[in-house]
Amino acid sequence: MKKDDYMDLDFSDIEAHFPLDRREFIKLFGGGIVILVSLTDAEALLQQRRRRFRPELPEDFNAFLRIGEDGRVSCFTGKVELGQGIITSLAQMLADELEVSLDSVDMVMGDTDLCPWDMGTFGSMSTRFFGPPLREAAAKARAVLMELAAEHLQTPLSKLKAKDGVIFDKTQNKNQVTYAQLTKGKKIAKKLERKATLKPLSEFTIIGKPVSRTDAAEKVTGKAVFAGDIRLPGMLYARILRPPSHGAKIKSVDTSAAEKIKEVRVVKDEDFIAVLHKHPDEAEKALSKVKAQYDLPEAKVDDKTIFDHLLKVAPERETVAQGGNLQTGEKLSAHIVEETYLNSYVAHAPTETHTAIAKIEGNKATVWASTQRPFGAKEEVAEALGFPSKDVRIIPPFVGGGFGGKNQNRQAVEAARLAKLTGKPVQVAWTRAEEFFYDTFRPAAVVKIKSGIKDTGKIFLWDYTVYFAGERGSQQFYDIPHHRTASTGGGWRGTPGSHPFGTGAWRAPSNNTNTFARESQIDIMALRAGIDPLEFRLKNLKDKRMIGVLTTAAEKFGWTKSKAGNGRGYGISLGIDSGTYVAHMAEVEVDKKGAVQVKRVVCAQDMGLVINPEGAKMQMEGCITMGLGYALTEEIRFKGGEIFDLNFDTYEIPRFSWLPKIETVLIDAKDSPHQGGGEPAIICMGAVVANAIYDAVGARLFQLPMTPERIRAEMP
């Protein structure tokens, strides 16, 4: 894979929920890129698409930071804190480049009135793509402050040094001035006439150091504010009438019983029916009194038939990558392995359900929302209210997990509509059932692979097609002369008519499905060749970074030749996501009933320069543990548009007792740019467990999740 191949950033899957006409385009992204709009050739269109989702961030560093009179520094970012820890790592970047202490930085995140535009917090892009401009802004600000200090202290620049928000004369320490004295709480008006230089690695004092979460104290005391914790005078809690299944049409509704309850308000706006009360549980009670009848659509698919359905409706496949000639590859191969892999729908299930509170004052709407896409929410709310988007402000407080699920802002729109309809501030907090029902699941998907090896154990053929998962992570990275990778199904959103309900990006979208299929297939070939899976991979790899993570993991794990059949087994899986390389090894125990306990997982990760090693390890551990869920139990059962799993009683997510011993290793790769860290370590969890299960009991699993029932069915 080419170094700069950011296939994982396929923004075509991120819908712009608002029409971008030329005028808005200019307004949104500034005048500098207007010419792109009038160009029509392919390259320009591609550029336009990229820019649309990676617009030029403001040139002016004041958009990113403000130094207060008290010397505290506010850092403005359109990114949101969902648990991934950028509240800490972005502050580290700013503090290091600006030369202030980490505790003097206050993060202002995602507030659409205060922060620079941002596409959203997903795709492990915060440190990769927001990091560099943030560092540059801080470096520029530092350079300007140095110039101001030179004037103020009447000292040549060359004699000055900045540290902890103070600029001093290196020859005479007392001759000094603080940032706060220079800026007096105002915007820095001075422009930098030269290019600011970023600090070299050797001068980092905060970047690269393990730092504890800066939000921990708030979160252990209950002080951290989430959207549902906001209290406004006169606010009402809403519960909204929901259909029993996707696609159901309301026939009749009777709200009279609910209306009789004291202090309950019932709002009807066509199909949008809500009951409101000043206490959420009372609103809930009132909703249960609303009687509605629906026309239900015919259920055409369920969780068993979905895969055939998907294969049937799949549009023509598109080639993602290819090389050599497949026929030649097939001829040269001594063994051909042809397999099909399946992956069920998986829910995001963040611990905090979608929540929003909206207030409309005069012609201005303010919505506090748990969202990964505040700027998207702003446009969606504006459209729903008929407001110009400048009159909508979205403020995301702390967000209680997202994993891609909170890219959808339906609840923010609902709260805003109800605030408009009632004239009161309104909170909408979804129940767990609503959260499951309206989730945009990780799509059910199919992968078909035909591959071939020579007797030497060298892979010669790789013909790969992924249906409906999306192409992120579909490209193989082994050294295979004849290969083709194709994708179909419109990415994780699917094509119209393909999925019976919403689907979307789920932590490391596409890649979990693709890595499960690829790395299972690799193990099957290794077995055919009679070669140990570690050795087989090393034989077929040329990519140095991949070899690096693999050998590191093997050493840490103490990989010895695997042996099948004793109830204990070892597995390997490799992958690339968001520019980051990962290698996993796992040990599992499988009992006669097919129940799996993962005993130990080792993960080596090469993510380039690591901003916060402590934060990176936390994410790796989280990925590994969360990933056990889709590997072993997580699966949405449904019939047509009706979802059967609506709470954690039947939808089983990982728990304390599942916890394996986890060991993480970060590769020292300071010289390469920092890559994503919130997602990569989850992509291997399907295959590493599948391969270990095979090693343990000889059962080869072709479908995720690998439930005891499915394992028993494959046991020899």
End-to-end distance of the chain based on CA atoms, in angstroms?
Answer: 37
Q: Which residue from 287, 274, 286, 282 is spatially nearest to 428, judged by alpha carbons?
A: 274
Q: Are 686 and 567 in contact (CB under 8 A)?
A: no
Retrieve residue 70's tokens.
């008290």
User: Least separation, in Å, of the C-beta of 622 and another protein?
Assistant: 5
User: Least separation, in Å, of the C-beta of 368 and another protein?
Assistant: 13
Q: Does 221 engage in binding with another protein (CB under 8 A)? A: yes
Size of the site for ligand FES (CB under 6 A): 3
Edge-to-edge strand ranges of the sheet holding 65-67: 65-67, 73-77, 105-109
Q: Which does 412 bind (CB under 5 to 8 A by kind): ligand FES, another protein, none?
A: none
Rg (CA), the chain: 27
Retrieve residue 566's tokens.
């004793």
Scanning residues 380 to 419, which ones bind another protein (CB under 8 A)? 398-401, 403
Residue 490 or residue 622: which is nearer to another protein going by CB?
A: 622
Q: Which does 101 bind (CB under 5 to 8 A by kind): ligand FES, another protein, none?
A: none
Residue 351-380 contact track with another protein, rule CB under 8 A, x = bound: xxx---------------------------
Size of the site for another protein (CB under 8 A): 60
Task: Determine the Cα–Cα distance for residues 488 and 495; give it in Å rounded to an integer.
Answer: 9
In the list 247, 297, 401, 613, the residue contacting ligand FES (rule: CB under 6 A) is 401
Scanning residues 55 to 94, which ones bind another protein (CB under 8 A)? 81-85
User: Which 8-state DSSP code applies to residue 431?
Assistant: -
Retrieve residue 670's tokens.
């300071």
Q: Are 506 and 441 in contact (CB under 8 A)?
A: yes
Question: Amino acid identity, residue 346?
Answer: V
Beta-carbon contacts of 151 under 8 Å, excluding residues fewer than 6 positions away, are: none
Residue 236 or residue 394: which is nearer to another protein going by CB?
A: 236
Give the interface segment with another protein, choosing from 43-51, 238-246, 343-351, 688-696 (CB under 8 A).
343-351
User: Least separation, in Å, of the C-beta of 394 and ligand FES?
Assistant: 22
* DSSP states along 86-139: HHHHHHHHHHHHHT--GGGEEEEES-TTTS-----S-TT-IIIIIHHHHHHHHH
Beta bridge partners of 426: 236, 358
User: Least separation, in Å, of the C-beta of 384 and another protein?
Assistant: 25
Q: Does 652 engage in binding with ligand FES (CB under 6 A)? A: no
Give the interface segment with another protein, choosing from 46-54, 106-114, 273-281, 461-469 (CB under 8 A).
273-281
Determine if residue 314 is left, alpha or beta; phi over 0 gives left, psi from -120 to 50 gives alpha, anything else beta. Answer: beta
Beta-carbon contacts of 51 under 8 Å, excluding residues fewer than 6 positions away, are: 29, 33, 36
Task: Determine the Cα–Cα distance for residues 28 and 55; give it in Å rounded to an integer.
Answer: 8
Q: Does 425 engage in binding with ligand FES (CB under 6 A)? A: no
Strand duo 265-269 + 249-254: pairing: unpaired
Scanning residues 208 to 247, which ones bind ligand FES (CB under 6 A)? none
Q: Which does 649 bind (CB under 5 to 8 A by kind): another protein, ligand FES, none?
A: another protein
What are the phi and psi torsion angles at 523 (to 5°)? Answer: -65, -35
Q: Are 469 and 346 in contact (CB under 8 A)?
A: no
Q: Which does 326 bind (CB under 5 to 8 A by kind): ligand FES, another protein, none?
A: none
User: Least separation, in Å, of the C-beta of 618 and another protein?
Assistant: 6
Retrieve residue 166's tokens.
């103070």
Residue 64 or residue 630: which is nearer to ligand FES going by CB?
A: 630
Residue 602-621 contact track with another protein, rule CB under 8 A, x = bound: ------------x---x--x
Retrieve residue 121's tokens.
């917090």
Cis amide prior to 705 (ω within 30 degrees):
yes
Retrieve residue 169's tokens.
């004369």
Residue 239 or residue 484: which is nearer to another protein going by CB?
A: 239
Retrieve residue 506's tokens.
């789920």
Q: Which does 82 bind (CB under 5 to 8 A by kind): another protein, ligand FES, none?
A: another protein
Scanning residues 628 to 657, which ones bind another protein (CB under 8 A)? 647-649, 653-657
Q: Does 351 engage in binding with ligand FES (CB under 6 A)? A: yes
Give the interface segment with another protein, choosing from 357-365, 378-386, 426-434, 465-473 (CB under 8 A).
426-434
Residue 229 or residue 391: which is nearer to another protein going by CB?
A: 229
Determine if residue 178 is left, alpha or beta; phi over 0 gives left, psi from -120 to 50 gives alpha, anything else beta. Answer: beta
Give the interface segment with another protein, choosing from 229-237, 323-331, 374-382, 581-589 (CB under 8 A).
229-237
Q: Are 512 and 682 in contact (CB under 8 A)?
A: yes
Q: Does 659 engage in binding with another protein (CB under 8 A)? A: yes
Total residues found in the chain within this entry: 716
Task: Determine the Cα–Cα distance for residues 144 and 152; give it in Å rounded to an integer.
Answer: 12
CA angle, 617 then 202 then 140, to 5°? 95
Q: Which does 535 bind (CB under 5 to 8 A by kind): another protein, ligand FES, none?
A: none
In the list 65, 182, 286, 349, the residue contacting another protein (rule: CB under 8 A) is 349
* CA dihedral sign of residues 514, 520, 524, 530: positive
Residue 68-97 contact track with ligand FES, rule CB under 6 A, x = bound: ---------------x--------------
Residue 297 or residue 401: which is nearer to ligand FES going by CB?
A: 401
Q: Which residue from 81, 76, 49 is spatially nearest to 61, judged by alpha carbons?
A: 76
Residue 171 or residue 221: which is nearer to another protein going by CB?
A: 221
Q: Does 231 engage in binding with another protein (CB under 8 A)? A: yes
Nearest residue to ligand FES, using CB?
351
User: Least separation, in Å, of the C-beta of 350 and ligand FES?
Assistant: 8
Q: Does 470 engage in binding with ligand FES (CB under 6 A)? A: no
Residue 111 or residue 352: which is nearer to another protein going by CB?
A: 352
In the list 602, 662, 681, 688, the residue contacting another protein (rule: CB under 8 A) is 662
What are the phi and psi torsion angles at 521 (to 5°)? Answer: -60, -40
Residue 87 or residue 314: which is nearer to another protein going by CB?
A: 87
Beta-carbon contacts of 658 under 8 Å, excluding residues fewer than 6 positions away, are: 597, 598, 625, 628, 632
User: Least separation, in Å, of the C-beta of 159 and ligand FES?
Assistant: 48
Q: Does 194 engage in binding with another protein (CB under 8 A)? A: no
User: Least separation, in Å, of the C-beta of 234 and another protein?
Assistant: 13
Q: Does 279 engage in binding with another protein (CB under 8 A)? A: yes
Residues forming contacts to ligand FES in the complex (CB under 6 A) are 83, 351, 401
Residues forming contacts to another protein in the complex (CB under 8 A) are 81-85, 212-213, 215-226, 228-229, 231, 237, 278-282, 349-353, 398-401, 403, 429, 431-432, 614, 618, 621-626, 647-649, 653-659, 662
